[in-house]
Amino acid sequence: MLQDISAFTQAQTAGQRPLQVAIIVPTFNEADNIAPLIARLSAALTDFQWEVIFVDDNSPDHTADLVRQLALTHPHIRIVQRVGRRGLSSAVIEGMLATAAPILAVIDGDMQHDEALLPHLIRAVADGQAEIAVGTRYAAGGGTQGWDATRLRLSRAATRLGQLALRSPLSDPMSGFFALSRETLSAALPRLSGIGFKILLDIVASLPQAPRVAEFPYQFRNRVAGESKADSQIAVEYLMLLADKTIGRILPVRLLSFLIVGGLGVGVHLAVLGLCLMLGIGFVDGQVAAVAMAIGFNFFLNNILTYRDRRLRGWRICKGLVSFYAVSAIGAAANIGIGNWVHDMDRSWWLSAMAGIVVGAVWNFAASSFVTWRK
Ligand code: GDD
Ligand code: MN
């Protein structure tokens, strides 16, 4: 069977060199950038057998349709269209898995990366000079155009944080412009997080050993068409990625986020209770108000942080809030019940309380992820 296929493909591709490299381009609302980017890729990649794979998250501006239209007459062009999904990193991973090419390169779809660097990145990997070749903004000769001091400082701080957390050898770990071999991808694949925007960092931190890296400086251009998708959410996702790549092996990052939110909820509880006591409201009534406020606070914060990928919107918020109150009520009963039970066994008060808190928290986490934020 395999022989039949290879005879068939040999006939089909007689005289044609095998595919060498796939360029993966994640896109969301980049319609105006597609045609010019393809023209630039074609000019830059004349020495290679290449294909470009756009991974589009069903952009409302119909980027995917436009790619298909161009692909009709350009056999280099392919599309992966994802529906009901978002995320730069996961898009890049799926694009890489959708090609047979032995070398994979990633570039943004908005022409902010310098495509003239692509042949250097590809050759560095093909020649075995490096396992990952990275376009960097933060090495001599690289840079950013017209960024103000605040943006520069923020980017540098995030860069340093990434380097520290992951003991990374990269000068620009946040870069989204790089090339690697399929073997390197395969080695990272089982441990990839796929969270957020920073796929290079994810790959490097998922490898069993630090990779050999070659860096190529370039000037990060300003965006001409379309809009950046970077928002406050990407800062949260960046921290989640770092958490997943560090303590994530011990504690799932979603549980960690849930626990941090719960900890903040304790603060809300105490603040509300304190306020009630100041206003002369009795302790029991104050406790009721404090618990109600803390649970509501936890619901909203978990909805935008812990479960940002399953975020409830519109009327589902009301339904979710009700179910979260129900889950939390059972959690509180379990908390008190377990606490009393341990206490009855003649344990210290704090150990008993902690036992109750742990069981209550784990219940709340598990039950709310199955009920309130069900997939
Ligand atoms: N499929 C998909 N899904 N693509 C996305 C998504 C998404 O949810 N969000 C963004 N993209 C695409 C954009 O269309 C663009 O092609 C590319 O990913 C980068 O997104 P921008 O919104 O332009 O981000 P940026 O300019 O702030 O940052 C980029 O460049 C940095 C410097 O190299 C990112 O690639 C960073 O990761 C990178 O460090
Ligand atoms: Mn951009």
Q: Is the CB of 26 under 6 A from ligand 1?
A: yes
The closest alpha carbon to 125, from 193, 54, 212, belongs to: 212
Burial class for 260, CB neighbours closer than 10 Å (0-12, 13-18, 19+): middle
Per-residue pLDDT of the chain (375 residues), as tens digits, is: 555 666 655 655 556 789 999 999 999 999 999 999 999 999 999 999 999 999 999 999 999 999 999 999 998 999 999 998 899 999 999 999 999 999 999 999 999 999 999 999 999 999 999 999 999 999 888 888 888 889 889 888 999 988 888 777 799 999 999 999 999 999 999 999 998 899 999 999 999 999 999 999 999 998 889 888 888 888 888 988 999 988 887 888 899 999 999 999 999 999 999 999 999 988 888 888 999 999 999 999 999 999 988 899 999 999 999 999 999 999 999 988 998 898 888 778 888 888 888 899 999 999 999 999 998
Query: Residue 335: which residues within 8 A CB-CB, separation 6 or more?
Result: 356, 357, 359, 360
In single-letter form, the type of residue at position 53 comes to: I
Phi first, then psi, for residue 43 (nearest 5°) are: -70, -35
* Residue minimizing CA distance to atom 12 of ligand 1: 27
Cα–Cα distance for residue pair 12/86, rounded to 1 Å: 37
Task: Calculate how far, in angstroms, residue 185's C-alpha sits from the geometric centre of ligand 2.
Answer: 24
Cα–Cα distance for residue pair 36/273, rounded to 1 Å: 60
Task: Calculate how far, in angstroms, residue 229's C-alpha sits from the geometric centre of ligand 2.
Answer: 8
pTM for this model (two decimals): 0.84
Q: Is the CB of 52 under 6 A from ligand 1?
A: no
Element (H, E) at 245: helix 232-246
Q: Is the CB of 54 under 6 A from ligand 1?
A: no
Contact 113, 191 (CB under 8 A): no
Cα–Cα distance for residue pair 30/237, rounded to 1 Å: 22
Residue carrying the six token digits 């939390």: 328
Contact 334, 356 (CB under 8 A): yes
- DSSP assignment string, 327-355: HHHHHHHHHHHHHHHHHHTT--HHHHHHH
Task: Calculate how far, in angstroms, residue 43's C-alpha sits from the geometric centre of ligand 2.
Answer: 21
E strand intervals along the chain: 21-27, 50-56, 77-81, 103-106, 132-136, 143-144, 178-181, 213-217, 219-220
Q: Is the CB of 176 under 6 A from ligand 1?
A: yes
Closest listed ligand to the CA of 143: 1
Cα–Cα distance for residue pair 217/260, rounded to 1 Å: 39
How far is C-alpha 115 from the chain's CA centre?
A: 24
Cα–Cα distance for residue pair 279/285, rounded to 1 Å: 12
Query: Which pLDDT does position 123 carry in this prediction?
Result: 98
Q: What is the largest CA-CA distance in the chain?
A: 89
Helix (H, G, I), strand (E, B) or coil at 56: strand
